[in-house]
Amino acid sequence: MAGEPKVEKQDSFESFMKKALRVLDENRNIVAVAVVAVVLIAGAIFLKARAQKKLNEDAWADLARMGGHLETSAKVKELLKRYEGTSAEMYFRMSLARKLYDDSRKVEASSRKEDIDLRLKALSDAVEELAICVKEFPDHPAAADARLMYDRLSADLEWARKYPGKFDPKAPDRVWQKKIWNTAEGKKDRHLDHLDDKVGQRSQVTLETAGGSIVIELFEDDAPNHAANFISLVQEGYLDGKEALETWETHVKFGSPSDQKSVYAIAPEVTVHKHGPGMLAMAIESGFESSGQKFYIARTAMPDNDGKVTIFGKVVLGLDVLASLKPGDKIIAAWLDKKRMKDYYPMVRFLPEEPKDGGKGAGGSAGSGK
């Protein structure tokens, strides 16, 4: 009987070892499951980040393809819904607001009930989009432009609600109309080649200076109204004899004097092009609108202006000439080398005349202008 306790102890030890081995085995399973879980979580995070990166890339690509706001407001709204939360969201919201504003302008003088309702709905939706921009993206590079648009469109909405079906008599300058220009005899035919009227064909302009020629290709598919406006300036001879008004390290500006308004403004067609050597852009004239007669060519990167002004062309020949320009240097002559087989009559908004007391115009800077 003396051996029975030994047997009990042995049984107890074996039982303990089995339990220990079972626990270790269970622990090994837990570790394995934990490792698999970590791998799966890491994989999910990686795939999500990759998908988000692809979504961002698609958003900017679609924004670029939407250049010139050629899409309808319904299409822009659809794109915004798809790309909400991406780095391009702010620009989609501002593009949608501009498109809705354009929709409202088409019927602003109509007294038909359906047009009154359409105008109010379009303006209300535009203001709502801009309110989101102002509230949720206060530090965005385009936040100041969103605020300008918000203030302007809010005033329009207030007027439309107060006087439905009536046009604001205090703002006749807000009418968009086709700019008709007269071409000097023979000028339109100088060195001119006609391109097929299809996507991808770029019109080309030459600016002749004392230091040599600057040849520019226009981004006609991205900013068609700005391209049409620039071509009209060339065709009517407006650029001939114009001096370089400002020559900064970053850019050179031409057009009407900086202390004067342009005769007209044009709606912005902000695209995803960025400033760099040779990029052509219109200055800001009135609020968020582009000047019709002031433009500049970048000499360097200008990140503070990216996304704020309409870039609508680039220098393809003559960057060395651009770098050598000094204040007072003139465009001796400008001509159109190539154009599509169509007429170019931009839609513009003529501005009020300058006050007689010598008050200065409201713009003339290239974004920040310096």
Is the model's pLDDT at 329 over the cut of 80? yes
pLDDT tier at 347, thresholds 50, 70, 90: confident
What would the pLDDT profile of 130-143 be if each residue is shown by its tens digit?
A: 999 999 999 887 78
Give percent of the chain with pLDDT exceeding 90: 22
Burial letters 277-296, b for 16+ CB under 10 A, else e: ebbbbbbbbbebbbbbbbbb
What would the pLDDT profile of 261-292 be if each residue is shown by its tens digit?
A: 788 888 888 777 889 999 999 988 766 788 88
pLDDT given at position 320:
94
At 358 the three-state DSSP class reads coil
Whether 260 contacts 339, CB under 8 Å? no
Assigned fold of 178-350: Cyclophilin (2.40.100)
At 296 the three-state DSSP class reads strand
State the Cα–Cα distance between residues 285 and 262, nearest whole angstrom: 7
Is the model's pLDDT at 122 over the cut of 80? yes
pLDDT given at position 171:
54
Which residues 6+ apart lie within 8 Å of 340 measured at CB?
A: 194, 195, 196, 197, 198, 201, 203, 220
Give domain 66-165's CATH architecture: Up-down Bundle (1.20)
Mean pLDDT value across residues 168-192: 55
Domain ranges in the chain are: 66-165, 178-350
Whether 93 contacts 130, CB under 8 Å? yes
14-28, 84-98, 217-231, 241-255: segment of lowest average pLDDT:
14-28
pTM (two decimals): 0.57
pLDDT given at position 70:
53
20-24, 226-230, 310-314: segment of lowest average pLDDT:
20-24
Would you list the DSSP string of 217-235?
EE-TTT-HHHHHHHHHHHH
